[in-house]
Structure 1
Amino acid sequence: MMTPTEEQWDLEIQPTSGLLELNWRELWQYRDLIVLFVRRDVVATYKQTILGPLWFFIQPILTTVTYVIIFGNIAGISTGGIPKILFYLAGITLWNYFQECLMKTSDTFILNQSLFGKVYFPRLAAPVSIVVSNLFKFFIQLCLFLAVWMYFLWQPDTAIQPNRTLLLFPLYVLLMSGLGFSFGVLISSLTTKYRDLRFLVQFGVQLLMYATPVVYPLAIAPEKYRWILMLNPITSVMEAFRYSFTGQGYFSWQGLGYSAVFMVVVLLVSIVIFNRVEKTFMDTV
């Protein structure tokens, strides 16, 4: 009879050993599970609502109208020559995607702790599915933005001048999803032990929006303070997105490069912390 130490196992699951090691191959093997998670996120969000997927359009429309009234008309904040509706809708469309990725990813380990304790699968499958499912919502809202954009583009006296940087649109989406994913995994790893961070994140994201040119153009910021806003890695992406579609705004290769480097650094840090937390994850939550 074989002793326990001599038993041969078909599969042995162990935590990742290296701090910067991630088993992307295993994650790809579980792609069918990620697809199921994506389908669950998309269907379950508005499954028992009256208007259903129409909320994908209603939310940005109501938010845009609110911004036009408060920031555009009452506060009188300049939009840099871009029609107010188009200006705010552009900012909301891109910002909502980043915010949704960050907020939902930052809660994924706590919200799925019961599932994690019952069956094994790569833990990163859950946050990856959130980023992918949010792409579905993002592209629906992008269609709304494109419809408004084309309306103003066809006006005879339009100041809208799209340019070749529109080809960089996939890069903008990649940077926003990467930043949202990286910050989300980092926060989610920390909140398994420090639950207070969940409340800090909700407050911090609201403050971050006002430190990002979502409701105002970067050009209206005083020159001596503009560098502070440029430290925000989302600023260059937001401005480049508007510039590509309207020809108005600030476009900088250096700024986009800074955003890309910032994203990679945060991703590496989040991987290190995730690998440390994963080994004792179920004991902590």
Structure 2
Amino acid sequence: METTIRKDQDTAASYGDWDMVIEPQTSSLNLKLGDVWQYRDLLMLLVRRDFVSFYKQTVLGPVWFFIQPLFTTIIYTFIFGDLAGISTDGIEPKALFYVAGVTCWNYFAECLTKTSTVFKDNSNVFGKVYFPRLIMPLSIVMSNLIKFGVQMLLFAVMMIYFSLLGGGTFHLTWYVLLFPVLVVQMALLGLGLGMIISALTTKYRDLVFLVTFGVQLLMYATTVVYPLSKAPEKYKWLISLNPMTPIIETFRYGFLGAGTFTWASLAISAAITLGITLFGIIIFNKVERNFIDTV
């Protein structure tokens, strides 16, 4: 039996002078978003903790936010662009093609991998004090949003730099206005998949070791290092079903003016993302009832 805490004026009026009521809750379809809103101050504190503590004892601190995508872009440009000669949909310089894909993928991958171990990483806290457990994965997604913002700044600086040099083939399109929608989709997709895996790892610990490896393989099934237009025809439909593919393609189409964009593919991606997120929240709330006995 699970207990949830309701705290509002209507409840207080119904129960006399009491402003906090503990009552049974058994429905897995209750997403508990109201409880999350009541604990929004805790959510902000956890976001700040995640951001500060991760780089607190490092020499370069947040500079690592720039170093990781920059070096990854350089390596991808050399290996996939120069040595392998993989097309970048006509985008020049090629570094912009790769940094666009890396920036989007890093945000999704970070949300997924860190959320996937939230039960295991916070079992000592969950066993001592009550708060909506959904706050933990939400704080991970929001703290990674700061890192994503810093990497977007690097992307913008590179665009300005290559624009001033001249000779580039990229340009902004009005589809750049879809950027907030793409960010929300990446966040929800990473959150949903991460919560599903986190719920499974309470019983099947082997999944923890497969997550990092699986995310690396999934990257090659996404258009991070190659454009969808150059994917083999017999696999293109499968790559298109990957919900991250339309997101990255739309991102490139908006910021760089090249990519395979259709409203249908973006809508399908959004529908898949929404379904995964809702399923993830439901299974997460269901597992949290007794996970402390198995973690």
Range into which the TM-score falls when normalised by the shorter chain: over 0.9
Q: 1:97 aligns with which of 107, 112, 116?
A: 107
**Does residue 282 of structure 2 align to residue 272 of structure 1?**
yes
Shift of 1:197: 1.0
Q: Kindly, what percent of the aligned residue pairs are identical?
A: 57
**Does residue 56 of structure 2 align to residue 47 of structure 1?**
yes
Q: 1:20 aligns with which of 15, 21, 29?
A: 29
**Which amino acid is 1:36 matched to?**
L
**Does residue 208 of structure 2 align to residue 201 of structure 1?**
no
Deviations 1:160-191 (A, max 9, x none): 12111011000110110010000011111111
How many angstroms apart in 2 are the aligned matches of 1:109 and 1:16?
A: 21
- The answer on whether the counterparts of 2:46 and 2:139 sit within 8 Å (CA) in structure 1 is yes
Shift of 1:276: 2.2
**Which amino acid is 1:114 matched to?**
N
1:163-242 correspondence to structure 2 within 5 Å: 163-242=173-252
Shift of 1:79: 1.0
Q: What secondary structure, in the 3-state scheme, does the structure 2 residue paired with 1:216 have?
A: coil
Shift of 1:223: 2.3
- The answer on whether the counterparts of 1:16 and 1:22 sit within 8 Å (CA) in structure 2 is no
* Distance verdict in 2 for CA 1:14–1:200, change over 3 Å: farther
**Range that drifts further, 262-271 or 155-164:** 155-164
Indicate the residue corresponding to 1:129 in structure 2: 139
Deviations 1:75-96 (A, max 9, x none): 1111111121101110111100
- The answer on whether the counterparts of 2:31 and 2:282 sit within 8 Å (CA) in structure 1 is no
**Which amino acid is 2:265 matched to?**
G
Q: 1:86 aligns with which of 88, 96, 106?
A: 96
Indicate the residue corresponding to 2:82 in structure 1: 73
Shift of 1:10: 7.4
**Does residue 51 of structure 2 align to residue 35 of structure 1?**
no
Q: 1:115 aligns with which of 101, 125, 133?
A: 125
* TM-score, structure 1 normalization: 0.93
- The answer on whether the counterparts of 1:93 and 1:142 sit within 8 Å (CA) in structure 2 is yes
Shift of 1:11: 4.8
Larger relative contact order, structure 1 or 2 (CA cutoff 8 Å, min sep 6): 1
* TM-score, structure 2 normalization: 0.90
How many angstroms apart in 1 are the aligned matches of 2:177 and 2:230?
A: 27
Indicate the residue corresponding to 2:13 in structure 1: none
**Range that drifts further, 12-21 or 223-232:** 12-21
- The answer on whether the counterparts of 1:19 and 1:271 sit within 8 Å (CA) in structure 2 is no
Shift of 1:268: 2.2
How many angstroms apart in 1 are the aligned matches of 2:262 and 2:56?
A: 42
- The answer on whether the counterparts of 1:99 and 1:180 sit within 8 Å (CA) in structure 2 is yes
**Range that drifts further, 275-284 or 132-141:** 275-284
- The answer on whether the counterparts of 1:20 and 1:268 sit within 8 Å (CA) in structure 2 is no
How many angstroms apart in 1 are the aligned matches of 2:23 and 2:155?
A: 46
Q: What secondary structure, in the 3-state scheme, does the structure 2 residue paired with 1:118 have?
A: coil
For structure 2, the 5+ residue unaligned runs are 1-17
Shift of 1:42: 0.4
**Does residue 253 of structure 2 align to residue 259 of structure 1?**
no
- The answer on whether the counterparts of 1:15 and 1:279 sit within 8 Å (CA) in structure 2 is no
- The answer on whether the counterparts of 2:141 and 2:187 sit within 8 Å (CA) in structure 1 is yes
Shift of 1:269: 1.7
Deviations 1:78-116 (A, max 9, x none): 111112110111011110000000000111111000011
Q: 2:171 aligns with which of 161, 166, 174?
A: 161
How many angstroms apart in 1 are the aligned matches of 2:88 and 2:132?
A: 45
**Range that drifts further, 74-83 or 267-276:** 267-276
**Range that drifts further, 11-20 or 85-94:** 11-20
How many angstroms apart in 2 are the aligned matches of 1:38 and 1:240?
A: 28
- The answer on whether the counterparts of 1:152 and 1:160 sit within 8 Å (CA) in structure 2 is no
Shift of 1:29: 0.9
- The answer on whether the counterparts of 1:64 and 1:89 sit within 8 Å (CA) in structure 2 is yes
- The answer on whether the counterparts of 1:18 and 1:275 sit within 8 Å (CA) in structure 2 is no
Counting matched residue pairs gives: 278
